[in-house]
Structure 1
Amino acid sequence: MKIRELEAFDAYMKLGTMKAASEELGISQPMISRLLSKLEIRVKFALFDKKRNQLKPTPEAHLYHQSVARLISQVRENEQDAAAIANNQLGNVIIAAQPTFVDTLLLDALRSFNVKHPGIGIKVLDVGMRELLRTIDKNYCDVALGITLESGNYSAKVRPLGRCEARCIMHEDHPLAREELISAEMLRGQDFIDLMPESPLRKRVDELVQTESADRRTVAEMGTMRGVCALVDRGMGVAVVDPFAELLLRGTSVVSKRLTPLIEWEVVFLTPDNVPTSRVAEALFSEIEAEVDRLKGMGILKKDRASPGL
Structure 2
Amino acid sequence: MFKTRELEAFDAYMRLGGVKMAAEDLAASQPLVSRLLASLEEKVGFALFRRKRNRLAPTPEAFRFHQTVVRHLAGLRGLEQEALAIANGEVGHLVIAAQPIFCDTFLLDALRAFRVTHPQATVQIVDVGMAEMLRMISEQRCDLAFGITLNAEAFGAESRPLAHCEAHCLLPKGHALGELDEIPLPRLRKEWFIDLAQGSPLRQRVDHMMDTINVHRTIAAELRTLHSVVRLVERGVGVAIVDPVANQLIDLERVSSHRLIPAITWDIAQFVPHDRPLGSVGLAFAAAVETEINNLKDAGIVT
TM over 0.5: yes
Which residue number corresponds to residue 307 of structure 1?
Answer: none
C-alpha contact (below 8 Å) 1:184/1:208 kept by paired residues: no
**1-structure distance, mates of 2:81, 2:37:** 26
**2-structure distance, mates of 1:143, 1:133:** 11
CA shift in 2, pair 1:195/1:159, >3 Å: same
C-alpha contact (below 8 Å) 2:137/2:155 kept by paired residues: no
Which residue number corresponds to residue 219 of structure 1?
Answer: 220
* 1:22 aligned counterpart, secondary structure: helix
C-alpha contact (below 8 Å) 1:149/1:201 kept by paired residues: no
Of 199-208 and 215-224, the range deviating more from structure 2? 215-224
**Alignment of structure 1 residues 150-189 onto 2, 5 Å:** 153-189=154-190
Which residue number corresponds to residue 298 of structure 1?
Answer: 299
Amino acid corresponding to residue 287 of structure 2 in structure 1: S
Shift, 1:289, TM fit: 1.0
C-alpha contact (below 8 Å) 2:92/2:120 kept by paired residues: yes
Structure 1 stretches lacking a partner, 5+ long: 303-310
Would you say how many aligned residue pairs link Structure 1 and Structure 2? 302
Shift, 1:98, TM fit: 0.8
- Deviations along 1:156-210, whole A, 9 cap, x unmatched? 1222211111111112311222112222222222222111111111111111112
Shift, 1:27, TM fit: 2.7
Amino acid corresponding to residue 175 of structure 1 in structure 2: A
- Deviations along 1:14-48, whole A, 9 cap, x unmatched? 21012321232233333322322333344455433
Amino acid corresponding to residue 66 of structure 1 in structure 2: Q
C-alpha contact (below 8 Å) 1:48/1:56 kept by paired residues: yes
**Alignment of structure 1 residues 119-138 onto 2, 5 Å:** 119-138=120-139
Asked if residue 17 in structure 1 is aligned to residue 21 in structure 2, the reply is no
C-alpha contact (below 8 Å) 1:97/1:127 kept by paired residues: yes
C-alpha contact (below 8 Å) 2:152/2:159 kept by paired residues: no
**Alignment of structure 1 residues 1-310 onto 2, 5 Å:** 1-43=2-44, 45-149=46-150, 153-302=154-303
Of 73-82 and 210-219, the range deviating more from structure 2? 210-219
**2-structure distance, mates of 1:179, 1:3:** 76
Shift, 1:59, TM fit: 3.8
**2-structure distance, mates of 1:300, 1:12:** 66
**2-structure distance, mates of 1:242, 1:272:** 25
CA shift in 2, pair 1:292/1:186, >3 Å: same
C-alpha contact (below 8 Å) 2:173/2:254 kept by paired residues: yes
Amino acid corresponding to residue 258 of structure 2 in structure 1: K
- Deviations along 1:88-115, whole A, 9 cap, x unmatched? 3433221111111111111111111222
CA shift in 2, pair 1:184/1:151, >3 Å: farther
Shift, 1:69, TM fit: 2.1
- Deviations along 1:38-82, whole A, 9 cap, x unmatched? 333444554333323322223443343233222212111211222
Query: CA RMSD of the aligned region, Å?
Result: 2.1
CA shift in 2, pair 1:45/1:227, >3 Å: closer
Shift, 1:295, TM fit: 0.8
C-alpha contact (below 8 Å) 2:143/2:272 kept by paired residues: yes
* 2:267 aligned counterpart, secondary structure: strand
**1-structure distance, mates of 2:47, 2:200:** 74
* 1:169 aligned counterpart, secondary structure: strand
* 1:281 aligned counterpart, secondary structure: helix
Of 153-162 and 12-21, the range deviating more from structure 2? 153-162
- Deviations along 1:225-256, whole A, 9 cap, x unmatched? 01111121122222110011000014542111
**2-structure distance, mates of 1:288, 1:146:** 13
- Percent of pairs identical after alignment? 48
**2-structure distance, mates of 1:173, 1:153:** 46
Query: What is the TM-score normalised by the length of structure 1?
Result: 0.89
**1-structure distance, mates of 2:108, 2:117:** 15
Shift, 1:86, TM fit: 2.4
